[in-house]
């Protein structure tokens, strides 16, 4: 709990509508945003643009360490709470059946404010029969895929600026078998919303499967997010689907 308290103490949740989630690293985040890769630009009917971009990960070291501290703290708590298995009552583990013991739905942004609850808001993809991922080994460090959603009005003024990261650990094995996933989450990094706009963002669905073989299982996860912005005149939603595998660091987007 001390690790979580330290991590959460560094999170700044401003009372204003402009809310940098990890304020200490906001300058570093700004540098990364200057090198963003524009993925799509949508012309809005009411005028203006909706811009989706990918942010390079090289400038995120400090922020990544902060998020990792929270995830590591949650993992340590899980392991501490797990009792040693009793060989007489232990259930059978099916390495080729991949399940998610974490959440399937959670909020990332609510009413223009980030929701930071990484201790509970995560998903995983591990063998059926296990009670936690503590019996898996060989997980990678946290991998990060950072995205930015911006909206401009008809005068070219930016009215919405949302930055978030899809994080995960891959490569976990059970007794040397399989490639599984842990600590899959969507972490808000910055939320900046002008007056008159309301933004929410959530993980809407998580599904898991085995894309390997029975002998060499590979966990696969499809994670769907829903971005929702509204004003008194307009209501807009945007869906993103991410594909994450247990045998790779890369996060793919599904069209």
- The residue with greater pLDDT, 15 or 19, is 19
CA distance 146 to 61: 12
Contact 158, 150 (CB under 8 A): yes
Handedness of CA 11, 206, 109, 56 (dihedral sign): positive
Q: According to the model, what pLDDT value does residue 233 have?
A: 81
- The residue with greater pLDDT, 6 or 71, is 71
DSSP letters for 124-176: EEEEET-SSGGG-B-PPPPEEEEEEEEEE-TTS-EEEEEEEEEEEEEEEEETT
Which residues does residue 209 pair with via DSSP β-bridges, in sequence order?
220
Which stretch, 76-80, 154-158, 175-179, has highest mean pLDDT? 175-179
Query: Residue 40: pLDDT band by 50, 70, 90 thresholds?
Result: confident
Local structure of 78: helix, strand or coil: helix
pTM for the full predicted model: 0.78
Would you mind telling me the total number of residues written for the chain in this entry? 255
- What are the sequence ranges of the domains in the chain? 2-79+95-254
CA distance 162 to 178: 36
- Per residue in 164-220, pLDDT (tens digit) is 989 999 999 999 999 999 999 998 888 999 999 999 999 999 999 999 999 999 999
Spatial neighbors of 13 by CB under 8 A, at least 6 apart, are: 19, 21, 113, 114, 116
Q: If you average pLDDT over every residue of the chain, what do you get?
A: 78
- Per residue in 158-179, pLDDT (tens digit) is 999 999 989 999 999 999 999 9
Query: Residue 9: pLDDT band by 50, 70, 90 thresholds?
Result: very low
Query: Residue 17: pLDDT band by 50, 70, 90 thresholds?
Result: very low
Torsion on CA atoms 127, 128, 131, 133, rounded to nearest 10: 10
What is the CB neighbour count within 10 angstroms for residue 184? 27
- Per residue in 131-148, pLDDT (tens digit) is 888 899 999 988 888 899
């Amino acid at each position: 709990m001390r690790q979580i308290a330290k991590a959460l103490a560094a999170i700044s949740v401003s009372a204003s509508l402009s809310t940098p989630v990890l304020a200490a690293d906001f300058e570093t985040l700004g540098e990364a945003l200057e090198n963003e890769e524009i993925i799509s630009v949508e012309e809005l009917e009411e005028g203006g643009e909706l811009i989706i971009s990918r942010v390079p990960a090289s400038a995120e070291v400090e922020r990544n360490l902060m998020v990792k501290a929270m995830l590591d703290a949650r993992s340590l708590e899980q392991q501490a709470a797990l009792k040693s298995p009793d060989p007489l009552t232990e259930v059978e583990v099916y390495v080729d059946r991949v399940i998610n013991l974490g959440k399937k739905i959670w909020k990332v942004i609510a009413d223009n404010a980030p929701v930071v609850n990484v201790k509970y808001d995560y998903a995983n993809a591990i063998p059926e029969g296990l009670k936690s991922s503590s019996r898996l080994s060989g997980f990678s460090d946290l991998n990060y895929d950072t995205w930015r959603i911006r909206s401009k009005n008809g005068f070219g003024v930016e009215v919405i600026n949302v930055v978030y990261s899809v994080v995960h650990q891959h490569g976990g094995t059970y007794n040397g078998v399989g490639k599984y996933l842990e600590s899959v989450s969507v972490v808000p990094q910055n939320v900046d919303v002008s007056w008159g706009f309301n933004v929410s963002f959530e993980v809407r669905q998580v599904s898991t499967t085995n894309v390997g073989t029975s002998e060499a299982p590979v966990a696969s996860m499809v994670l769907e997010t829903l971005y929702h912005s509204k004003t008194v005149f307009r209501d807009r939603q945007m869906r993103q689907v991410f594909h994450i595998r247990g045998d790779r660091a890369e996060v793919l987007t599904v069209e």
